[in-house]
Structures are given as structure tokens and as C-alpha cells.
Structure 1
Amino acid sequence: MTFSKYVALGDSFTEGVGDADPTRPNGVRGWADRFAEGLAARAAVEGRPFGYANLAIRGRKLPAIIDEQVDAGLALGPDLVSIHGGGNDVLRPKVDIDALAASYDEAIARITATGAHVVMFTIADPGLNGVIKVIRGRTAIFNEWVREIAENRGATVVDMWRIRGWKVAEVMDDDRLHLNAVGHQAIAIAALDALGVPHALEPIPPADLPVLSARAQRAADLAWARTHLAPWVKRRVTGRSSGDGVEPKRPVLMPIG
């Protein structure tokens, strides 16, 4: 498959949170940028133009992604759309997963009706992460809906649930919720491979991690709770989002490089 106009939709995962790069819009790079770079390189080899837009906003739940980003993305006339959502939804204990899936299916149908190819994602297995493993059951249900929707609509799935062998400390940012550069690069490679696009991306070797004593690990956990967990809880209580005031980092199709 060849693509010339790629639009990325979603939440912090697709915006690139955790993969810091102060030279880029919103100060992040992320798998979608890396994926787009691979697509652009292939387009250059084949003598085709290539444009990339990224409308993803951190903190967005799936209904907001659908309402705010799908029509705006389709207005750009893409031939390839990636969409990731649901992670911020399944964190909520009262989420209606069946209703969420129905709205997701309708959105994917609207995208594919334009002729654009869609790349979807399952959510990574939270059982690997002690911070959020309590949501493993409802994540698995949501993921099965993603697979069914993709099968029915002809979309490509990057099945992160089935990616094994990762060590959380190697692929996650300090907040223990978002991928770091190692993880984002791995997803970019997985997405290109899922589409069968030849590329030159290589895995990033993880940094050497210190072995912590039990006391040092407790201190690290407390520091994480103060720095990352407490602000997250405060936002939930006050009804705020990490994406409040954040604008899409690439609102129109532009060359990448």
C-alpha cells in the first residue's frame, strides 16, 4: 500500500507524550512522527509527495476524539488515517464499553467510506504495569471490540495487547503511563510492519536500569506518587484534563523532515 496524505487522530499516545523533543510542536515527537518519517522516506523513494497532520490531544477520551477530530481530519482528504482511543475511557470504572464500541464503529465506518485506509490500535496489556493493572479486564473487552470493528471495516490493527517481552521500566516514561522514545519507536516499527511498508527504522536499545533496593524502590514510588499520581487524581476530582489548552501539533498536512 502507498500513501501520500496521512492524518493521525487520538490522545496522548498519538500526540507523542513521553517522547520529549523540545524542537517539535508541543515539545514531543512520538510514534506517529516516527511512523510518518518512515512513510515519507518510502514516498521519496517512489517519487511521491507526502503530507502528515496530527490532530491528537493528550487526555482526550474516545467520544471527544470522535467529535473533535474525525471530521476535521477527513476535511484534509487523507488516504491513511490512524486512530487510537479508549485508554482514558477504560481508566474510568463506570465506562459503558459496548456503547463506546458502537460509537467507535460508526466513526471508523465514516472514515473508511471516504476511501481512506485506517490503522487502529488495541490498548497495551495493563497487567504488565502495576500502576494500572486493575483495569485489565475491561481493557481486554474493549480490545476485542477493536479487533471486531477492524475486521468488519477492513482496517489494519496494531495489536499492542499481544506485544510481549517488554519491561515496563525500559519502555515507559517517568510517569509510568506513557511510552518513552524506546516504546514510541517500537510502535512506529510495528505500525509500518503491519502495513507492509518497507522502512529503515531500527529498535532503540533501552537504557541500562539500576537495580534498586527495596528501600530505594519505595522512595522512588513515593516520588512518583507526588509528582505524577497526585496531579492526575486532582484533575479527575476537579474535572480538568491534561489536554486543556493544548492545540494539535500538526493541524494541517505538511511535509515531514
Structure 2
Amino acid sequence: MPIPAMTEQSDPLCLSEVTAAALLFDAPWRRFGVVGDSLSAGVGDPTPGYTNKGWADRVANVLQRVCPDVQYLNTSEFGVTTARTVAHQLDRMAEFGPDLLHLPCGPNDILRRKPDFDEIEKTMRRMYDLAARTRALLTTFTLGRAYVVPTFPDWDERIRAMNAITRRLGAEYEAVVVDMWNHPVNDRDNLLSEDRIHFSTSGQAVMATEVVRQLVYMLSSRTSE
């Protein structure tokens, strides 16, 4: 007898929207903002059995279930670098006035022939400086190891270097860093979209769950202090 295909409801790495909202019942955030690239946007191919929705929209839906008055703005653009995010998205986001703000983690910055990691870190620091002025709680991801660009033989080193920058700045600015580098979802055969870069909607569902889990952990840590 064939084993039934996993669905969002049976996925052990996913929380339902109702459960996620219950865990965030005392969440204080009312203005959720997202800037960056296609990873921030939650781009990905549909997966049978999963709602066709990106991680950011999923998190916004959870927050709106907690409080219907929550406002959500996602200004992310496909293919942009951190520098372009700084130049074209942060002014608009500052006007929005988020109290929860997600920042990109540089996947497009390392697609150059020879990325300058010192310059990348300076640009990311500029982004964090501007984002911190909103006084929002900042969140970000590390890049998963399933994200592979075969064109570059040193790709693994690039990912590790980029993730190191993200973790370093995240710690300095007290951001919530959702670490996807070695998450078990990376081992799933159906994780990547046809482009072999973006997580499919099954991966988006897991990423949304991880954001919620980290926000819950952060809130509980502050309460216990």
C-alpha cells in the first residue's frame, strides 16, 4: 500500500496557522514590514498539499489572526542586492513605521564573479543601521545549504561567509536570526523550486514556522528575565 504524500497538515516541521497564532497570543507587533529580495518575498513553486503562499505572507496572516489590526508591508523585489534594498526600499519602510521588520541576508550579493565580502558587510551594516532607526524588532534568515549555484565552485565557502556576516550583524543589532543553514528541511527532495534556488511552498511553510518559533522563543526569554 503506497505511503500517503505529506501535506501541510501532516508535516512535522510545520505549525498550523491556528497553533502559531495561539503561541503568539501576546505578540506586541502591529506593523510588520519586509524588505529585500525574492527570499524576503517568499517566491517559490507550488507543492501539492501545501497552501500556495510565501513565508512572509504566512507570518503576516498569523499576526493578523492574533490581532486583526496588524498592518503588513512587503517591498521586496526579485533579484535585488543589499545595496539596492538600502537605496530603494528603506525610505518607504521607514515611512510605514514597522515594529517588526525583516531584513535580507545577501543571496544576490554573492552572485558576482568575485564578491567583496568586506564591502558586502559594510553595505549590510548600513542596512542594519537604517533599519534600527525604526526601533523595530529585526529578523533575518541565514541561507540554507540546499541553496546551490553550481556555476561557482566555491559556492559553499560563499554561503558560509555570507551566513557568518548575517549572524555577526544579527547578534550586534539584537535581531532574531532564523538559522536555515543546517535545518533538516534542506534534506527534502521536494524542497527546491524548478529553478533549484528558491524554496517551494513546502519550504516556505517550514520557514514561516521557524520565524514563529523564534519569535515565541524571544518573547518567552524576555518574559523570564
**Maintained 8 Å contact 1:19/1:29:** no
Cα contact 1:129–1:168 (8 A) shared by 2:
no
Find the partner of 1:120 among 120, 130, 140. 140
Corresponding residue number in structure 1 for 2:62:
38
Cα deviation, residue 54, structure 1: 0.6
CA contact 1:84–1:120 (8 Å) conserved in 2: yes
In structure 2, C-alpha distance between the alignment counterparts of 1:13 and 1:122, rounded to whole Å? 11
Amino acid at match of 1:7: G
Post-superposition offset of 1:168 = 4.9
Q: Which digits, 9 at most, give the CA deviation of each residue in 1:194-252, with x for residues without a partner? A: 1117xxxxxxxxxxxxxxxxxxxxxxxxxxxxxxxxxxxxxxxxxxxxxxxxxxxxxxx
Counterpart of 1:16 (choices 34, 42, 62) is 42
- Which residue in 2 is equivalent to 1:228? none
Give the drift of 1:166: 2.8
**How many Å separate the matches in 2 of 1:85 and 1:148?**
12
Q: SS of the residue aligned with 2:184?
A: coil
Shift of 1:130: 7.2
**8 Å CA contact 1:121, 1:160 repeated in 2:** yes
Query: What is the deviation of 1:43?
Result: 2.1
TM-fit CA distance, 1:62: 1.4
Aligned-CA RMSD value = 2.3
| Corresponding pairs, count | 187
* Matching residue of 2:221: none
Identity rate, percent:
27
TM-score (ref. length: structure 1):
0.67
Q: Counterpart of 2:18?
A: none
- Give the match's secondary structure for 2:144: coil
1:182 alignment counterpart: 202
What SS is found at the alignment partner of 1:81?
strand
Contact 1:8 1:54 in 2 (8 A): yes
Q: 1:114 to 1:17 in 2, by over 3 A?
A: closer
2:204 and 2:93 map into 1 onto residues whose CA distance is 22
Cα–Cα, structure 1 residues 137 and 105, in superposed 2: closer, same or farther, change >3 Å?
A: same
2 CA distance for matches of 1:36 and 1:165? 22
- Alpha-carbon distance in structure 2 between the residues aligned to 1:32 and 1:163: 18
* Alpha-carbon distance in 2 for matches of 1:167, 1:131: 18
Q: CA deviation at 1:182?
A: 0.2
Equivalent pair of 1:5/1:80 in contact (CA under 8 Å): yes
The structure where helix makes up a greater share of residues is 1
1:80 offset after TM fit, Å? Answer: 0.8
Partner Cα distance (2:148, 2:188) in 1 = 7
Matches within 5 A, 1:156-175: 156-175=176-195
Q: Distance in 2 between matches of 1:132 and 1:5?
A: 39
Q: 2:72 aligns with which of 33, 36, 52?
A: 52
User: Counterpart of 1:207?
Assistant: none
Q: Structure 1 segments of 4 or more deviating over 2 A?
A: 128-134, 164-169
